[in-house]
Amino acid sequence: MYRGPIVVFVACLFAALYVLVAHAAPAAEPGSALQIAALPATTQVVDPAQVVHGPMDALFVPSHSAYTPNAVESERWYRLDTNADWQGETSPVLSFTGATYIRITVYAPPDYQPRALWFAQTEENSRFSRHRLAMELPHDLHAGQPIYVQIAADSFTRQIKPALTDLASYQSEDLNHVRLTTMFASVQVTMILAALCLWMVLRDRVLVYFIGYTTFQLMFQMLTSGEIYELPGGKLLVPLGTHAPWLFAALSTPLLVSFILEFCELRQITPTAAKILGWMRWPFLLAALLLCLPFAVRTHLLASSFNVWFMLTELWTLSTVVLAVSRHGRQARFFLIAWMPQVMFTLLRLSQVLLNLDQPRWLEYGYPFTMAFASIVVTIGLADASLRARRERDMAHHLADHDALTGVLNRRALVRRLNAAITEARLQKEPFALLFLDMDHFKSINDRFGHAVGDACLRAVVVAIAEELRPADWLGRYGGEEFIVGLPGASHDNAVAIGERIRKRIETLHVHSRGTTLQTTVSLGAASLDGPTDTADELLARADAALYRAKSDGRNRIVSHPPLAATGT
């Protein structure tokens, strides 16, 4: 039933992603290619002046790799140059991908002054986004002119890749990157605000989980892309360095698991799997605590264990949600559609990190794209859950105010409606009348034919009464075989005329039930609102007195109060 729409949806998802990635793809670079040479790794501190002024040039060893990886224990030095003079129409831009929080210092011509490039740099306004660490080089860059690069030591070895691009192409690509990341972040912020508005009205715990995990995921994404440091207050996160994205990833996961447990109703649908999933979220809180310690980022085992546990948790969560979908969990189906692309891209991203591979462009933009998409679909699911809760609440209110057998107002609701109708009649200075009905000899029907036939007779009488009423009139069951009809705006004479129509209609009514056909009649008492101090109890008492008079006078008739005349057979 759902296979076709899901296939179409996934196809549209990847088509949209392909268009976005193609739009953000860089233009072809000019013919000058970078040549890389590396200074052999050493634990001794190298004086930058000795490197920059040329005495150590002979020690640089040409590299056949396109990367300038950092080292764990010591800084690394690289010399970059081109195999041809720069021929681009605009100045060349030297950029580095994969550096993230590693500090890079570039010594470039003509003055070879140190230029610091750092992901979390906030000291000056950057000309480019933090998509890459980049700086502009002189337009007259010559072949063989050296550029020295000092890459700081870090706790992890990363494949840092330098590239040379003309300024116009780089700015165009950079602008597209900013547009995409801003769009994805804006979508998530919008969904968070929508959920916050829902929470202010509903005060539902599942909305708190959604707001929490989505906010932390957004923070993580903005930390890994660097945009967060452009925002007011971004400087406060700089001291955390590489701790920051790990910390927010660790905090978002238990909130995500808690949200899934509540939103998908896993504890009711898949209790055993849900219990295991609930246990799996607690190690992330311990990881969040450990990641705040100074040694955390230098412990490979901790980082690798976190990634492996994260992958296992996602796979178990996915299996549990799929199991809930197979057991007809409506909310689980919503979440599966929303989360499946994000799970796939998350696992691919973790695999790329663990295997130390280049991040392809479709993965770079696919991951935030699926996060934004998941936020939209889950928000729709939350709205659907809220709508179902509202329908259930309305149904509960309906059942609380209506008679289960006949579907008309019950005694409590009709008394409330009567008080409101009297108040409204006084405000509008309009008349109001009441009919009190009682089925004649109803007990004998139950005794002779059984309660099932009696119930069918009650329902048939209610339908007949309702068909004789005006749109503004209302009907309620006072108890047993007694009914009340409220007639807003009806004068005493109008009430008697409506009551007489009802009496004649029921007199000719044939009730068919369980192979039996029978007829019944009703007696009616009519009363009108009398004076500004008249109460609902007094009005009911007068209508009841008129009904008693109709019964005493032979039944199957209507009597008004005061008893002006009796109508009927």
Output the pLDDT for position 28: 45
- 489: buried, middle or exposed (CB in 10 Å: 19+, 13-18, 0-12)? middle
Where are the extended beta strands (E) located within 369-472?
A: 432-439
Output the pLDDT for position 549: 93
Higher pLDDT, 150 or 396: 150
At residue 492's C-alpha, the angle toward residues 491 and 496, to 5°, is 115
Output the pLDDT for position 18: 55
Higher pLDDT, 4 or 287: 287
Statement: residue 27 has pLDDT above 50: no
Output the pLDDT for position 540: 92
Task: Measure the CA–CA gap between 149 and 78, rounded to whole angstroms.
Answer: 5
Statement: residue 47 has pLDDT above 90: no
Statement: residue 559 has pLDDT above 90: yes
- The neighbour count for residue 480, using CB atoms within 10 Å, is 11
* Domains of the chain, residue spans: 27-171, 180-398, 411-568
Collapse the DSSP code of 295 into the 3-class scheme (helix H, G, I; strand E, B; otherwise coil) and give the result: coil
The mean of the pLDDT values for the chain is: 84
Closest CA to 173 of 230, 229, 221, 134: 134
The CATH code belonging to domain 180-398 is: 1.20.1070
If you classify domain 27-171 with CATH, what class do you get? mainly beta
pLDDT class for 563, splitting at 50, 70, 90? very low
pLDDT, one tens digit per residue, over 409-434 is 998 888 999 999 999 998 888 999 99
pLDDT, one tens digit per residue, over 59-112 is 999 998 888 988 877 889 999 999 888 988 899 999 998 887 888 999 999 889
User: DSSP letters of 521-550?
Assistant: -EEEEEEE--STT--HHHHHHHHHHHHHHH
Statement: residue 493 has pLDDT above 80: yes
pLDDT class for 448, splitting at 50, 70, 90? confident
Higher pLDDT, 489 or 362: 489
pLDDT class for 503, splitting at 50, 70, 90? very high
Q: How many angstroms from the chain centroid is the CA of residue 68?
A: 42
User: CA-CA distances (angstroms) from residue 548 to 444, 487, 494?
Assistant: 19, 20, 21
Report the percentage of the chain scoring pLDDT > 90: 34
Task: Measure the CA–CA gap between 117 and 19, rounded to whole angstroms.
Answer: 31
Output the pLDDT for position 11: 61
Structure tokens at 518: 């029978």
Over residues 145-167, mean pLDDT: 88
Output the pLDDT for position 562: 67
The CATH-assigned architecture of domain 411-568 is: 2-Layer Sandwich (3.30)
Output the pLDDT for position 525: 94
| Strands 557-561 and 522-528, sheet pairing | parallel
Whether the CB-CB separation of 189 and 218 falls below 8 Å is answered with yes
Statement: residue 116 has pLDDT above 80: yes
Whether the CB-CB separation of 297 and 230 falls below 8 Å is answered with no
Higher pLDDT, 234 or 279: 279
Statement: residue 155 has pLDDT above 70: yes
pLDDT, one tens digit per residue, over 480-490 is 899 999 999 99
Task: Measure the CA–CA gap between 199 and 206, rounded to whole angstroms.
Answer: 9
pLDDT, one tens digit per residue, over 255-272 is 999 999 998 889 999 999
pLDDT class for 565, splitting at 50, 70, 90? very low
Give the ranges where 233-299 is alpha helix by DSSP (H). 243-263, 266-269, 271-280, 282-291
